[in-house]
Each structure stands twice: as C-alpha cells, then as structure tokens.
Structure 1
Amino acid sequence: MNLFARGQKGKLADLGCGTAFTVEVAIQAPGMSVDVSCFGLDASERLSDDRYMVFYNQLASPEGAVRLDLAGGAARFAVDLERLPATIAKLVFVAAIDGAQTMRALGACSLNLGSAVRFPWSGADFGDEKAVIVGELYRRDGTWRFGAVGQGFNGGLSALLAHFGGTEAAPAPAPASPAAPPPAPAQPKVSLSKVTLEKRGDKVSLDKRAGRGFGRIHVNLNWNQSVSAAPQPPQPQAKTGFFDKLIGGGLGGLGGAARKGRGGIDLDLGCMYELADGRRGLVQALGNAWGDFEREPFIRLDADDRTGAAAGGENLYINGERFDQIRRALIFSFIYEGVPNWAATDGVVTISAPEQAPIEVRLDGGGNQMMCAIALIENRGGSLQVTKLAEYFQQQGGTSAHELMDRHFGFGLRWKTGTKG
C-alpha cells in the first residue's frame, strides 16, 4: 500500500488502482458528531448538479457511480469512475463537525483508497476549523488521479456546500393561491435537514419517490456503551471507529466507549411486524430470528454486532420497495446485558431512507426497565409514517417485558424464553 502525506498526488494507474474501488474515511472523534460527504464537481470545481453530493441524506449519485455505506465502523464510498458522466471532473471527500467542537479534537483518522493508498491524518493537523477537505479524485488530461489534501475549513457542512456552489433546500413555502402561476422547474436542492421527534406521539410522514418506492430503509440504534453495572477501576479507554455514537445533527457522532460484554450495557435492536395480509412476527437476535430483506417479512436485522465488536451499533433494514406488503413495524430495544439504566444509555435511533431527511428518535425517558418500544413505522395509504413511542416495559412475575409490550400494542405473538445464537 502507498502511504501518502498531505499534499501528495499520484495517478491511479501508477498507484495500482483501477477505476472501481472503495474510498473509506475512518475518524476517531470521542463525543463528537461528524458528517462525511462526497462532492461531485464540474470542470469549474462547482457542484453544478446537487444530485452529485453524496452524504447521509442522499446516499448515491443518480447512476450509482458513488454510493455511501454507513452500516459499519467507517464511511465507505463505493466509487466507479467509469460510470460518472463527463460533466463530473472531480470527487472531493470532506468531513464536517456538527456542534461546538472543532477539528483539533479529532484523534487518529485516515482515508484509504481501496488497498492502494492510505492517507493518515489527525486533529493535531488542525486548529479551530469545523471541517476538513480530506482528499480528492480528479481527472486531468484524461487520466484520473488522487490527491491527499488535508485542508481545514472554517465553516461546517452548510458552508462547504455553499463553497462548492451548491444550494441548500429552503423550508417549504406556504401553498400558493389557485390563481398563482405554477413555479418554474428548478434544479434539485440538497436537504441538510434532519427531523427529530421530540415528544411521545410526535409523527412524521414520508412520501414515495416519484415512480419508485422508499428504497432501502436503514434503522440504526446507537448508545453510550460504556455505562457499567458498578464503578470500575480506571481502564484505558477502548478506541472505536467512525459512527460509534449517533448524537447531535450529524450522521455519526463519535465516541470512545467500552464494548459490550466488558462491563458495559448491551442493547439489542428488534422489530415486531404485521404484514398487509395480517401475518405477524418478530425480528431480533434472540432465537436467531434475523428476518429477510428480499423475501417476507422484507425486514432484516444485521448480524454483525452480535458480539458488540462493531462500532456502528445495531442496524436493521426494511425493504422500502416492498413496503406495500408491510402494515406496521414496531421498532424496539431491550437491555440484554448490563444493569438497566435507560437514562445513562443516551440511546438514539435514526431512520434513514434515500432522498429523505433522516428521522431521529431519542431514548430519553425510562428508568430501570428492560424494554423500550421506540418507534412505530406504519403504512398509511402508501405513505410511511413514523411515530415516537418511548414506552418502557419491565417483566412482571412470569410475564416477560417482550410479552407485555406485545399485549400493549396488540400483535398477539406467542412467547418463550430465548437466547442469542
């Protein structure tokens, strides 16, 4: 692997890199919220087409030449340069902090270009900047090249968007009167917004994309995994990866935390579902009921975090292209290991769908119960409605918290004691 320093450049062909590869941006940022994005620029280095900003609220370019995967411990962009239109001359990879912190607070970070290039950088390279232009792929004389930039930028993600000539979506205007002429077609705008459901019962609805379904719906659960059962002697803080703890307005709040099974809390993500034909079931790690994305129930729990080794928390995926076959899905979490203490978990669920603003639901109530019903996803006449529940349940005698939650929401499942496989 070629080790690059700031300012170093090279032709991809000379570096042993083809035209299809992964760009991985890994960031250590304890207690911070960081967004990683890719800007597709024209020959004038402008974001002349907002569809070529790939980030948490727009996970792919129109033809799929750049796709962002946020399911693991880093931001991974699958890049296929041959699929890019001739109008795109440069791909710029950036990171921006949301909140009061600045780039100097970052730990060890890196950008990896497949197995061909590694560009290490850290917060020690910066001062009070809120963003960094990490690296770029650019076309010159018909040849694609890579440059390790590492340039600090004072503004956050919105300022970066404006810097590259993009436009941020404004709040929807009031409906026009019937007599008003229809507005002229406009260039699509990038929405940097995020919807946070603050109170129990708050709702938000998503409409299908024109001529398509909802795409791949990603439900992520993250929390403060360092909460322990009792005071422990000081230990070296375990280093964790990107998107370790989702907080604030960004895609990936980052935090160093002890892993599950080492004195911390183990939260498990699960889902009760009801299909359009009335059949009901359960998706969760207990009992190895992982579900299926392509076939019924069109809901799949990611098995990668069964041991707590992954940094991206718990992840569940709903097939939004088959959402017409789903009536409702109850997203829940339970404390599988550790002393019940919801207030200390600082848990948050983020529900993301392509071309839609992410929806955030915080687990900001409860006490020492084992179970939390977090959110209800419903099919309402073809629209996808998300409701914040924040209902907590504790086992009563021989009746489990799972069963009590089931009774409360009327799924009618049969319960027995289960274990992780």
Structure 2
Amino acid sequence: MNVFSRGQKGKLTDLGVGSSFSVDLDVNAPGFAVDVSCFGLDNADKLADDRYMVFYNQLASPGEAVRLTLGSPARFSVNLDALPPSIAKLVFVAAIDGAQTMRALGSSSLTLGGALRFPWSGADFGDEKAVIVAEIYRRDGQWRFGAVGQGFNGGLSALLKHFGGTEAAPVRGAAPASLQPAPAAPKISLSKVTLEKRGDKVSLDKRAGAGFGRIHVNLNWNRSGMASAPPPQAPQKGGLLGRLSGVVNDAMANKRRSGGIDLDLGCMFELSDGRKGLVQALGNAWGDYERAPFIKLDADDRTGASTNGENLFINGDQFAQIRRAIIFSFIYEGVPNWSATDGVVTIAVPNQAPIEVRLDGGGNQMMCAIAMIENQGGQLQVTKMTDYFEQQGQTSAHEMMDRRFNFGLRWKTGRKD
C-alpha cells in the first residue's frame, strides 16, 4: 500500500483504483466527538447542490454516489460513475464538536481502498477546529487524489460557509428546519442534539399528515486498542424470559472470544395495550417491524468488529401502538468496563435532528439502560437514562434493570446459541 504525505497527489488509475472504492477516515479523538463529512463541489470549489454534502444528518447523496457509514473508522463508499458532471471534486473533512481543538487528536489516517494510506495526527495542527483531510478531483478527464491535511479555523458550520453553503435555521425544539435546496445558496441543517446529563430529554413532533417513519437506533463504540483488554467477569446464569418474547437470556453464557469489544443492543418495550416484552439477540428475540412490537433488531455482530455497530429499527408509522421502550446495552465480551468503550447511541428519526446519548459513566457493571423512548400524547420523547446494573446474587443484571423500570417480565436462562 502506498503511503502519502501532506501535499502528495496521484492519478487514481496510476494507483490501481477504479470508479468504485471506499474512503475510510480513522480519527483518534480520545474522549470527544469528531464529525466527518464529504463535500461534493463544482468547478468553482463551491457546494452548488446541497444533496452532495454527506454527513451525519444526510448519509447519502443522490444515486448512492457517496454513502457514509458511521463508525470507527467512518467509511465513505464512493461510486464516481454515479456523480453528475457538475460535481468536480469530493472533499473529505473532519470537524470537532465541542471545546477541544485539532491538536488534541491522536494518530489518525485516511485510507483509500487498498491503494493508499495518508497518516496524520494532532501534532500537525494547533487550535483549529477542523481539518480538510483529502480530496478526489477531476482534471483533464481523469480523477486524482490529493492528500491535503489543512487545518481550518471553525467547525463544520464554518466549513459549510467556506464552501458556499448556508446553514438552515432550527425550528422550535430540537428538530432542524428541513433541507431547503437553493442552487445559489443551499440550506443545510447541521443540527444535532446531544443529551448531556441524565434526565435530559427532547420531544419530537410528527410531520403533518405522517408518522415518524423508520426510526434508526444505532449503538457504536471505540474498537481501537482494546484487543488485549481482559473480558468481563461472567455472572452466574440468571437469564430472562419476557411473557411475549418467548425466550431470552443470560448474558455471557458460552462467550465467543473474538478479542475485540462486543456490545449488544436491545430494548424492553410496553405497547399501548399493556403487552410487554423485549427485543435482543440473546434468546433470538429479534422482534418484528411490521407487526407487534413494531421493533426489530438487525443482525447481531458476534465478533464485535463491524464498524456499523448494532442497529435497532422502530416502526414510527405505528408509534401509536407503542407506550415506551427502554434502549439498553450490555458488555458481551472484550472490555472490563464502560469507560473503555467510548460508546454512543444515536437515535435518527427521518427529517429530524439526530439525538445522541453517550455512555459516559458506569464502572464494571455489565448492563446499561441508555435511553427511554416514550409516547407522550403522540410526541416522541427521548430521555437520557444511563443507569448501570450488575448481577446481585442469583438476580441477573437484566432482571435488576427490569425491576428499576417496573416492566414485570418473567425470567429464565437463555443464550445466543
């Protein structure tokens, strides 16, 4: 693999890169958040079409020319053939969300497929809040790559302005204004809601004449540097059985030793008719999106290596059928405590600002109740919980969590296999 330094350029054809490839941004930001983005620019280096800014609030451009998969590293899947002639350059940037500056970053890198790697770190910068990492641009009919590594004063909003875009003003509450395309001055919502303290909450209204759509709950965490971390101590089997779910679980039975961090995502739910249960991989209680409980867990990552993390989907068009859901996670293997995970849950509701909850507390407890999603008179209310639980005697951490939130499920031993 070629290793590029700042300022180095090369034709994609000379690097053996075709029209479809991935760009991975691995940003080492200990203890704080960094947002990565891709700007699709015209020949004047301006964002002439807001649909070609790909970031946490807009994960794909038209035709899937650029798609962002958030994780560690973050991955941009690029198909140059799907770009219109008006897009002459793709610029990959990273911006800090918070009080830190670029100098606080550790060793980071951008990797283009299997062809090249561009390493950089906070030592290359000062008090900048953002960095233009690299660009892929068209010149003389050929696509080329350039390693930029240029610090930028100001965060993502300032970068948007630098490239000729303008930020849409937020509306009442947490939800941002809708994207408002305008050829001369695109309007882009950069709003993101972070629930900082336990008990912080935000309410979202349904869009006029519609439900909440497909609600995406993503759990992700930092996998770097943890391969040698000792696995957590397995509790005695306690398991659980929801009256409706059929089977569920004991955490840690017959663990698979992947060597990486493996967190499992799930939820306990209560429907509007009083039925209760849970959705999680242990016990194969995957749920159902189209029928009750209108909550479905995506495939479980048994290795802990997937950069997509763990994903849960809630049918927001059937939200009237749901009274409440506790989103929870537990450490399946690979790390001794929550502080080592740098975990974050993002709740993405279509056409609303994404809601972020960080797992920023706890000790060596195995279970964390992360957030409560409630139906409050038709509004979707999200409350940060971050309550941590551990097994007490023969009572599992799952059951301790159940008691705390008064779901009243019945429990017996279960497992993934």
Distance 1:121 1:343, change over 3 A: closer
Q: Between Structure 1 and Structure 2, how many residues are aligned?
A: 378
Pairwise CA distance, 1:16 = 2.1
Partner in structure 1 of residue 191 of structure 2: 193
Matched residue of 1:63: which SS?
helix
- 1:375 maps to 371
| Structure 1 position 64 matched with structure 2 position 64 | yes
2:352 aligned residue (348, 356, 363)? 356
- Judge which range, 59-68 or 94-103, deviates more: 94-103
Q: 1:93 to 1:348 in 2, by over 3 A?
A: closer
Asked whether 1:45 is paired with 2:14, we answer no
Cα shift at 1:75: 0.8
* 2:63 partner SS: coil
Q: Check whether the contact 2:218–2:312 (CA below 8 A) recurs between aligned residues.
A: yes
Match of 2:311 in 1: 316
- Superposition deviation, residue 400 in structure 1: 3.9
Q: Could you say if the C-alpha distance between residues 141 and 81 of structure 1 is closer, same or farther in structure 2, counting changes exceeding 3 Å?
A: same
SS in 2 for 1:150: strand
Give the corresponding residue for 1:303: 300
- Give distance in 2, aligned partners of 1:169 and 1:157: 13
The residue that corresponds to 1:20 in the other structure is 20
**Cα distance in 2 between the residues matched to 1:406 and 1:380:** 21
Counterparts in 2 of 1:114 and 1:395: CA distance versus 1, 3 Å = closer
Q: Which runs of 5+ in 2 are unaligned?
A: 174-179, 234-260
Over the residues paired in the alignment, what is the CA RMSD in angstroms?
A: 4.0
In the alignment, does 2:230 pair up with 1:261?
yes
* CA displacement 1:177-206 (0-9 Å, x = unmatched): xxxxxxxx7736222222233452723215
Other structure's SS at 2:62 match = coil
**Structure 1: runs of 5 or more not aligned:** 175-184, 224-239, 242-255
Amino acid of the structure 1 residue aligned with 2:85: A
What residue is the counterpart of 1:130 in the other structure?
129
1:136: how far off? Answer: 0.9
- Partner Cα distance (1:374, 1:17) in 2: 42
Residue of structure 2 in register with 1:108 after alignment = 107
TM-aligned CA distance change 1:166 to 1:323, over 3 Å: farther
Deviation of 1:211 after TM superposition, in Å, equals 7.4
Is 1:385 the counterpart of 2:370? The answer is no
Shift in Å, 1:93: 0.2
DSSP-derived class of the 1:96 partner: strand
Distance 1:381 1:67, change over 3 A: farther
Change (3 A) 1:322 1:140: farther
CA distance in 2, matches of 1:167, 1:127: 26
Q: How far 1:378 sits from its partner (Å)?
A: 4.2
Mapping 1:121-200, distance limit 5 Å? 121-172=120-171, 187=182, 189-197=187-195, 198-200=197-199
Following superposition, the deviation at residue 326 of structure 1 comes to 6.2
Could you tell me the TM-score, scaled by structure 2's length?
A: 0.73
Change (3 A) 1:206 1:301: farther
Which whole-Å CA distance do the structure 2 matches of 1:166 and 1:340 have between them?
44
Shift of 1:139: 1.9
* Distance in 2 between residues matched to 1:78 and 1:151, nearest whole Å: 23
SS of the equivalent of 2:188 reads coil
The offset of 1:352, in angstroms, is: 2.8
Give the equivalent residue in structure 1 for 2:78: 79
Could you say if the C-alpha distance between residues 28 and 392 of structure 1 is closer, same or farther in structure 2, counting changes exceeding 3 Å? closer
Partner AA of 1:217 in structure 2: H
Alpha-carbon distance, 1:98 to partner: 2.8
More deviation, 113-122/378-387: 378-387
User: The residue matched to 2:64 in structure 1 has which SS?
Assistant: coil
Contact 1:274 1:326 in 2 (8 A): no
The two structures have a TM-score, normalised by structure 1, of 0.73
Tell me which amino acid in the other structure corresponds to 2:7: G
* CA shift for structure 1 position 333: 3.1
Deviation at 1:143, TM superposition (A): 2.6
Structure 1 residues 280-291: aligned runs within 5 Å: 280-290=276-286
Corresponding position of 1:182? none
Question: Does the aligned pair in 1 maintain the 2:31–2:342 contact within 8 Å?
Answer: no
Using a 3 Å threshold, how does the CA distance of structure 1 residues 275 and 120 change in structure 2: closer, same or farther?
same
Q: Identity rate of aligned residues, in percent?
A: 66
Give the match for residue 246 of structure 1.
none
| Structure 1 CA distance for aligned equivalents of residues 336 and 230 of structure 2 | 14
Mapped contact 1:208–1:382 kept (Cα < 8 A): no
Amino acid at match of 2:310: N
- How big is the shift at 1:298? 4.5
- Code of the aligned partner of 2:192: K
- Partners of 1:206 and 1:385 within 8 A in 2: no
Alignment partners' CA distance in 1, 2:358 and 2:265: 14
Equivalent residues of 1:93, 1:136 under 8 A apart = yes
Distance 1:83 1:337, change over 3 A: closer
Would the aligned equivalents of 1:260 and 1:308 in 2 still touch at CA under 8 Å? no
- CA contact 2:232–2:335 (8 Å) conserved in 1: no
Q: Deviations over 1:288-346 (max 9, x none)?
A: 54557788754225533x5556677x522215576559624320234667999879987
Which is worse superposed, 398-407 or 57-66?
398-407
Deviation at 1:95, TM superposition (A): 1.0
Q: Which shifted more, 108-117 or 280-289? A: 280-289
